[in-house]
Amino acid sequence: MKGDYQELVDEISGLLGAPATLENRDFGLIAFGAHDGDDDSAMDPVRTRSILTRKSTPAVRSWFEGFGITRATGPVRIPAAPEAGVFRDRICLPVRHRGIVLGYVWLLDSRPGPTAGQLTSAMQVTDRIGALLADEERAGTDLSREFRAVLTAERGWQYDMALAALRTALGPAAEGLHTVVCMAPWSSGDAPSARAVAGASALCTVPWPAGSAGPQAEDGAPAGPGEPGHGATASPGRTRKGGRGGPKPDEGSRVADPAGGGADGHALAVLVRLRAADVLAPALTAAGRLSEDAASVAAGIALPRRGMDDLAASWREAASAARAVLAEPGLGPVADWSSIGPYRLLTALPPGRSRDPSAAALLKPAHAELARTAELFLDCAGQAGRAASALGIHRQTLYYRLSRVEQLTGLDLDDGEDRLLLHMALKAARL
């Protein structure tokens, strides 16, 4: 990175004494300067919509382009047009690199307005923005191949080689602070251009198994064949505590196929630069921008990390958070891994093996209401009054339903470990 868009926009705002807004050439918002004045007319509908929705309408775009901003090499003054929602005159500073327009800096014009010298200084800043946008566009295009190679490589030397290639392509930025965003399911097999997503170092699509798409266990192992109890006999009821049975996971699994099964869909992976470990705004902005163009998509964000050493873990976390949102919509539409509670553990289990036989009968369609009752009761920490109120039923009705749950599962809801087992089994069923 040669700089930061926000810092450059703030520099232009300081030079011209007016809040500036930076948009890419598709009129997608990248950064904007703060407006701290008392003049409400500065926030006309067009500027307000651009900031709140991070884009302009096609009609607004067409209107502004009618003033020749796509061909201009210097400042363009655009008069107000109240009928179009533009209540203030504007100055457009085209952002170009090697003759190609890559974006626009917008300012609200006033009288007497900035001097020719101030505008010249501001245009020099747009040159730096143009170089930054060009580098990001080129890097995003080039790095999609390297990024995908890391997320799809077999563990071992292939993964190490792919990671080394990505580090080389990123240069010094590889040691910076990053996070990974997972958008799933991604309906298109193609990744958007990196220039459309501010802060993205690389984007790529990866395999995402339809209907499951759970991340791998911590060691990267995929699920074994079949359903729970594969290769063994199990029966409902209290399970023996402390058991360590079950088939051993296969070695050499790939990072990109989070469920370890056949992939017939896609997810979008985004490598996002961060300015601080406790500020996820760039990742949230990227997820919001991408979700505008995708219906019914969930977004997960990994923990911030410095450097590329734990990129595989970051992808698992991002995929886990996205999977948790798909299972529990109340967590989303965007969730970071630290906020998904028990799904942090459940999504780390190989698909299929996370289901416990004790809950099999309860999870049949005929008992859906009992399963919902049990889950909400356990969500309420076993407090009958809260659970009955949330369900809108009498407490005695709740007790009757819970007794039926115990009969179906063979579990004792007065036993803490049995409660934990059932709670996790019900959450796992959502996955």
pLDDT digits (tens, 9 = 90+) for 112-152: 888 999 999 999 999 999 988 887 766 555 578 889 999 98
Nearest-angstrom CA–CA distance, 402 and 425: 16
pLDDT of residue 232: 31
pLDDT digits (tens, 9 = 90+) for 176-228: 999 999 999 998 667 776 666 777 888 999 988 754 434 333 333 333 222 32
Domain 357-430, CATH: 1.10.10.2840
The structural domains of the chain, with segments of one domain joined by +, span 5-114, 137-221+252-346, 357-430
Select the CATH number that applies to the domain covering 5-114 from these four: 3.30.450.40, 1.10.540.10, 1.10.3720.10, 3.40.50.360. Answer: 3.30.450.40
Res 293: pLDDT: 67
Per-10-residue mean pLDDT, the chain, length 431: 74 90 84 60 54 61 87 91 75 91 88 88 93 72 81 87 88 89 84 72 84 39 30 32 32 38 73 90 88 81 94 94 92 92 86 74 91 91 92 93 92 91 86 77
Upstream peptide bond of 112 is cis (omega within 30 degrees of 0): yes
| This prediction's pTM | 0.58
pLDDT at site 36: 53
b/e map of 262-273 (b: 16 or more CB within 10 Å)? ebebbbbbbbbb
Contact 283, 321 (CB under 8 A): no
